[in-house]
Amino acid sequence: MKILVCISNVPDTTSKINFTADNTAFDTTGVQFVINPNDEFGLTRAMWFKEKQGATVHVATVGGPSVESTMRKALAIGADEGIRINAEPTDGFFVAQQLAEVIKTGGYDLVIAGRESIDYNGGMVPGIIAALLDINFVNTCIGLEIEGDKVTAIREIDGGKETLETSLPLIIGGQKGLVEESDLRIPNMRGIMMARQKKLNVVEPVEAIHAIKDKTFDKPAPKGPVKLVDAGNVGELVKLLHNEAKVI
């Protein structure tokens, strides 16, 4: 089985976010970038298929040279080969078109992408890839078992879970539950050294549509002042919640 894991290079959740160019561009100064968490769950599941079923695992991303440190981490975790599509990931539709071209020529049985990235939260890339390539798609996937070309997948739905049966080739939009946080892997020294020897292919982008353009960014409003109520003054607390906060 040949697996491609699509990864995004996203700001660490502890990073301080700022914008430049009159709030039209993200300021990367001093920002630490990491593998998108939803993608990392997928990568860890792919490593399970590699170890248990002998799968080959590639990782791919769209981005400039700055994303290569993130890709090397994926290789250090255990992926066999990396593919960097040399273009700025301007919008989800553009990214999906680039990844679809890699998938089309790569002969992959299973494509694992995060259901969304934690920076723009578009949630569109895996679904668009599936539509472009006309292959099976399971979103919000929290469980995946494969036997031959038969697949059993569990996905999260409102108020519960849904179990599906499908077949390869398949693309999934994965998330936490595909593996648990305790299953995530930290690259060890041997993995880091081996990653330096693994292939990281750089391919040029295909001509594609840029469907979306960011006009402006706004930060969330700052938190307002806080009123403290004495622990024994329940009446005052109820009054404030009813008259000012209007939550009761």
* pLDDT tens track for 36-55: 999 999 999 999 999 999 99
> Is 23 a member of any domain?
yes
Instruction: Tell me what pLDDT residue 244 has.
Output: 86
> Is 244 a member of any domain?
no
Quick one: tokens of 146? 């494969």
> Is 225 a member of any domain?
no
How many domains would you assign to the chain? 1
Instruction: Tell me what pLDDT residue 74 has.
Output: 97
Work out the number of other CB atoms within 10 angstroms of the CB of residue 222.
5
> Is 190 a member of any domain?
yes
Q: Which residues of the chain have pLDDT under 70?
A: none
User: Is the pTM higher than 0.75?
Assistant: yes
Angle 240-241-243 (CA atoms, 0-180°, nearest 5)?
Answer: 60
Q: Domain of 168: which CATH number?
A: 3.40.50.620
> Is 233 a member of any domain?
no
> Is 241 a member of any domain?
no
Instruction: Tell me what pLDDT residue 48 has.
Output: 96
Each residue's pLDDT tens digit, 185-202: 999 999 999 999 999 999
Instruction: Tell me what pLDDT residue 69 has.
Output: 94
Instruction: Tell me what pLDDT residue 246 has.
Output: 87
> Is 148 a member of any domain?
yes
Q: Which domain holds residue 141?
A: 2-218
Distances (CA, A) of 183 to 40, 44, 71, 101, 167: 10, 7, 19, 31, 26
- Is omega for the bond preceding 37 within 30 degrees of 0, making it cis? no
Contact 208, 97 (CB under 8 A): yes
Helices and strands: H and E segment counts in the chain: 6, 13
> Is 164 a member of any domain?
yes
Instruction: Tell me what pLDDT residue 206 has.
Output: 96
Instruction: Tell me what pLDDT residue 46 has.
Output: 97
Instruction: Tell me what pLDDT residue 144 has.
Output: 97
